[in-house]
């Protein structure tokens, strides 16, 4: 017997015992796990569920923004994110590499299609230890066209992830109203957030809510045929329908582009509204931006019509006039002395824009000529300052309108000192927003009912098309009566139709326009107003047709390049006129038959008293001018029996010495009547209406004297404010601070 045999048997027995022990331990552990369902204190079922269960996000589609007729203004569209695979593990067949093989060539080619330097692309493609890389903002939101061009290069390792981006099919179209979206990143998840305009104020409704999907998968992540699935559907964002009309907005965009190109103004602000409902049919500004590319956003980062208040200038006279008519203190035929005004004996003087005024004229002529003194006088002596302040609030000029756009500003009413109260009456010193002016103007156009402006028509479910919420017109006040509104429109029409009016450039063939021009001074950095004929905000607030206005249009143009002429009506009318006319025609508002002024045959006044002749002429609608200090008429022009039009000047020569009248604003035809009657010689400079005359008013006329008159257009006349007036206005403002 081998001596080693007992040891071998013992070793085998020990080894066998160990294996038997391990076997029983394994059997025990197996049944223990089977019974308890746990391993190391962890539930195995949960671990298996975690390993083979997948969860995905069902992305909600952002709602569309549409115009009132369902035309798309903003929508989500397919976009692509550029990805570069760097890991060689992705390549199975070296002949068909699935990773970036040549970083230098790849960077060179990609730089042609994305906005990133070739060196930065190369740096990203050569990062160590990265499985894949992206290219930041430059590599996201790529169009299908760019994707196709990059794919055609067949660059190894370059692929794409499908995504969505916000798309604005009309480009620079009501951009400051609609706004744009930004993509924010958190934990490698990108979220779209509205910035500016409707995209911002309706971001929550437009965004919707993402859904989710949970499913069982195999080891490689594929869905098991009989696996359990749990789906929470995404709720797409709601669609927002605006009151904007794409056609009218296009009229406005085209007109603003033309003016911006020709006159290069610092700013343009324009609004088109329906006075019956408060609907904003168009709203725009220059400079603007393209929401697809953000080009121009640094110069146009907010909505000027909503977020900016500034001195309105003489468009404010509309509301002072309405208050005076409502209070029965505006007599169009009553006269006042134009030229200058002092709110108190110690207050700085307020001047008319031509420095000297037009002598004693009626308040209606003061409106037509845009006399500051007329409205300062009305504010203090007719209405009273407290009543004026009351109407400013009634017209909503001191608080936001509540339009559905973000960051709306409120008017800032300067009303502490008497001079401030006077200047507020004609639109200086006080600042209000364009949208506040539009709201107030609806009361004039809508027979006293002031409508809240709004720009959202309805909210619609994106998937079902069901209307969730529909906006209805809202009356926010009745500051004046229907009768007052009609009278105010009648008076404002004469601003456009009268030869003395400052609004002659805003006549539209076939349509009666009521409105008011504005020329607002611009405060400079030193507290004084800017000087120079072009350094103003030129504006016009008008409505048409006058008897039943269907549209209100406000246009303001700041500091256009007019070659130092100050002819602000040129750029403003180049927007107002085509937009108003084209929009009325588009809305099927037929032109009215043009009224012709009534004709009268002049009687013979020779031998009559001046008083009796004036009474007859006034009753027949003529504008009588008396030459001389006598009491009896000895001659007249036009001659007796002549058929003349309402409003024509009739010159009555008396038996006293002849004196020169103030001919400021007269037509050359009327000047010729004086020349013929007094036997004067005439020199004429320019075209249009009289701005100055060589023989001063009230100077005795002699046969053979030479009269020289300088003629300009009404717009030139209106904007030629004297340096004296500007300096005194600046001193006035400085003294109030």
Taking only the tens place, the pLDDT of each residue in 242-285 is: 999 999 999 999 999 999 999 999 999 999 999 999 999 999 99
What kind of fold does domain 56-242 have according to CATH? Penicillin-binding protein 2a (Domain 2) (3.90.1310)
Distance from C-alpha of 540 to C-alpha of 488, rounded to nearest angstrom: 16
Q: What is the pLDDT of residue 360?
A: 93
Q: Which of 306, 542, 554, 523 is nearest to 428 (CA)?
A: 523
Cα 111 to Cα 80, 84, 119, 124, 221: the distances in Å are 16, 14, 9, 13, 35
Name the pairing type of β-strands 211-216 and 643-645: unpaired
Burial of 317 (0-12, 13-18, 19+ CB in 10 A): buried
Judge: domain 599-719, CATH 3.30.10.20: yes
DSSP-assigned letter for residue 131: S
Q: Which of 68, 504, 460 is nearest to 273 (CA)?
A: 68
pLDDT in tens, 614-626: 888 877 777 788 8
Check residue 716 and give its pLDDT: 54
> pLDDT digits over 413-447, tens only?
999 999 999 999 999 999 999 999 999 999 999 99
The three-state secondary structure class of 178 is helix
Would you state the pLDDT for residue 219?
A: 46
Q: Are strands 706-712 and 681-686 parallel, antiparallel or unpaired?
A: parallel
Task: Enumerate the active-site residues.
Answer: 314
Neighbours of 2 (CB within 10 A): 7
Residues of the chain with pLDDT under 70: 1-12, 28-58, 185-190, 212-230, 593-600, 642-648, 687-688, 713-737
Q: How far apart are CA 120 and CA 122, in angstroms?
A: 5
Return the closest-CA partner of residue 435 out of 545, 318, 559, 554. Answer: 554
Cis peptide before 545 (omega within 30 of 0): yes
Helix (H) or strand (E) holding 402: none
Q: What are phi and psi for residue 567, nearest 5 degrees?
A: -80, 70
* 3-state helix vs strand vs coil in the chain, percent to 5: 35, 25, 40
Phi then psi for residue 486, to 5 deg, are: -65, -45
State the distance between the two ends of the chain, measured CA to CA, in whole angstroms.
128
Residue ranges covered by each domain of the chain: 56-242, 246-292+300-463+473-586, 599-719
Contact 584, 511 (CB under 8 A): yes
Residues 6 or more apart whose CB falls under 8 angstroms from that of 239 comprise 63, 64, 65, 66, 459, 460, 461, 462
Stated as kind and residue range, the H or E segment containing 375 is helix 372-377
657: which DSSP letter?
Answer: -
Per-residue confidence (pLDDT) for residue 625, from 0 to 100:
85
Separation between Cα atoms, residue 490 and residue 583, nearest integer Å: 22
CATH code of the domain made up of 246-292+300-463+473-586: 3.40.710.10
How many angstroms separate the CA atoms of 194 and 642, rounded? 70
Is residue 324 packed enough to be buried (19+ CB in 10 Å), middle (13-18) or exposed (0-12)?
buried
The SS3 call for residue 81 is strand
Enumerate the H helices of 162-315 as residue ranges: 175-178, 197-201, 203-207, 246-263, 304-307
Identify the pLDDT of residue 423: 94
Relative to beta strand 280-286, strand 180-186 is unpaired
pLDDT score recorded for residue 734: 35
User: What does the pLDDT read at residue 523?
Assistant: 87
- Which residues fall within 8 angstroms of residue 311, CB to CB, at 6 or more apart? 427, 428, 429, 430, 431, 520, 521, 522, 523, 537
Give the per-residue pLDDT at 479. Answer: 97
Question: What is the model's pLDDT at position 225?
Answer: 55
* CB 194 within 8 Å of CB 206: yes
List, in order, residues 6 or more apart from 396 with CB less than 8 Å away.
436, 439, 440, 450, 476, 477
Q: For residue 720, what pLDDT is reported?
A: 42
Please report which residue ranges of 202-342 form alpha helices under DSSP H.
203-207, 246-263, 304-307, 317-326
Predicted local confidence at residue 130, as pLDDT: 85
How many C-beta neighbours within 10 Å does residue 242 have? 28
Residue 405: predicted pLDDT: 96
Q: State the pLDDT at residue 665.
A: 76
């Amino acid at each position: 017997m081998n001596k080693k045999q007992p040891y071998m048997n013992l070793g085998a027995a020990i080894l066998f015992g160990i294996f038997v022990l391990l076997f029983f331990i394994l059997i025990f552990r197996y049944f223990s796990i089977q019974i308890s369902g746990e391993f190391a204190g962890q539930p195995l079922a949960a671990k298996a569920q975690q390993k083979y269960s997948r969860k995905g996000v069902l992305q909600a589609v952002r709602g569309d923004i549409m115009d009132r007729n369902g035309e798309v203004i903003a929508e989500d569209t397919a976009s692509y994110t550029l990805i570069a695979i760097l890991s060689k593990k992705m390549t199975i067949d070296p002949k068909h590499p699935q990773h970036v093989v040549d970083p230098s060539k790849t960077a060179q080619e990609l730089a042609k299609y994305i906005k990133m330097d070739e060196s930065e692309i190369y740096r990203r493609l050569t990062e160590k230890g990265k499985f894949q890389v992206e290219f930041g903002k430059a590599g996201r939101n790529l169009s299908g066209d760019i994707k196709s061009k990059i794919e055609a290069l067949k660059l190894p390792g370059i692929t794409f992830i499908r995504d969505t981006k916000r798309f604005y099919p009309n480009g620079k179209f009501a951009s400051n109203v609609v706004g744009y979206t930004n993509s924010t990143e958190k934990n490698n998840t990108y979220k779209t957030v509205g910035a500016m305009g409707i995209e911002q104020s309706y971001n929550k409704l437009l965004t919707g809510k993402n859904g989710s999907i949970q499913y069982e998968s195999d080891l490689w992540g594929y869905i098991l045929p009989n696996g359990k699935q749990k789906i929470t559907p995404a709720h797409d964002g709601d669609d927002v329908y605006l009151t904007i009309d794409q056609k009218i907005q296009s009229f406005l965009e085209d007109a603003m582009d033309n003016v911006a190109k020709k006159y290069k103004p610092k700013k343009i602000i324009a609004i088109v509204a329906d006075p019956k409902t408060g609907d904003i049919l168009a709203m725009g500004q220059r400079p603007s931006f393209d929401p697809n590319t953000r080009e121009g956003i640094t110069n146009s980062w907010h909505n000027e019509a909503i977020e900016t208040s500034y001195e309105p200038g003489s468009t404010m006279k509309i509301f002072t006039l309405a208050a005076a008519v409502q209070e029965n203190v505006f007599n169009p035929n009553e006269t006042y002395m134009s030229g200058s005004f002092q709110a108190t004996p110690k207050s700085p003087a307020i001047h008319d824009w031509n420095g000297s005024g037009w002598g004693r004229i009626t308040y209606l002529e003061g409106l037509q000529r845009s006399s500051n003194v007329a409205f300062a006088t009305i504010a203090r002596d007719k209405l009273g300052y407290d009543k004026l302040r009351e109407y400013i609030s009634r017209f909503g000029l001191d608080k936001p309108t509540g339009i559905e756009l973000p960051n709306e500003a409120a008017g800032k009413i300067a009303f502490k000192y008497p001079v401030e109260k006077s200047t507020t009456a004609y639109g200086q010193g006080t600042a209000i927003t364009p949208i506040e002016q539009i709201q107030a103007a609806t009361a004039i156009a809508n027979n006293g009912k002031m409508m809240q402006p709004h720009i959202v028509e309805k909210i619609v479910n994106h998937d079902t098309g069901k209307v969730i919420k529909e906006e209805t017109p809202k009356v926010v006040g009745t500051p004046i009566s229907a009768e007052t509104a009609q009278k105010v429109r009648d008076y404002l029409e004469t601003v456009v139709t009268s030869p003395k009016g400052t609004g002659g450039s805003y006549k539209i063939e076939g349509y009666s326009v009521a409105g008011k021009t504005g020329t607002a001074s611009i405060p400079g950095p030193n507290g004084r107003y800017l000087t120079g004929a072009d350094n103003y905000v030129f504006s016009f607030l008008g409505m048409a047709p006058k008897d039943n206005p269907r549209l209100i249009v406000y246009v303001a143009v700041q500091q256009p390049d007019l070659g130092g002429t100050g002819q602000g009506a040129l750029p403003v009318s180049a927007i107002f006129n085509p937009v108003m006319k084209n929009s009325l025609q588009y809305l099927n508002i037929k032109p009215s038959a043009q009224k012709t002024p009534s004709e009268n045959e002049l009687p013979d006044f020779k031998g009559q008293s001046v008083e009796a002749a004036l009474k007859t002429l006034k009753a027949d609608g003529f504008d009588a001018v008396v030459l001389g200090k006598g009491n009896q008429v000895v001659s007249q022009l036009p001659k007796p029996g002549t058929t003349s039009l309402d409003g024509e000047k009739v010159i009555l020569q008396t038996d006293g010495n002849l004196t020169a009248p103030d001919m400021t604003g007269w037509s050359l035809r009327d000047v010729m009547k004086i020349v013929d009657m007094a036997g004067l010689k005439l020199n004429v400079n320019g075209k249009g209406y009289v701005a100055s005359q060589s023989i001063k008013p009230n100077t005795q006329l002699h046969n053979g004297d030479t009269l020289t008159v300088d003629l300009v257009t009404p717009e030139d006349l209106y904007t030629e404010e004297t340096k004296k007036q500007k300096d005194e206005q600046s001193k006035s403002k400085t003294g109030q601070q």
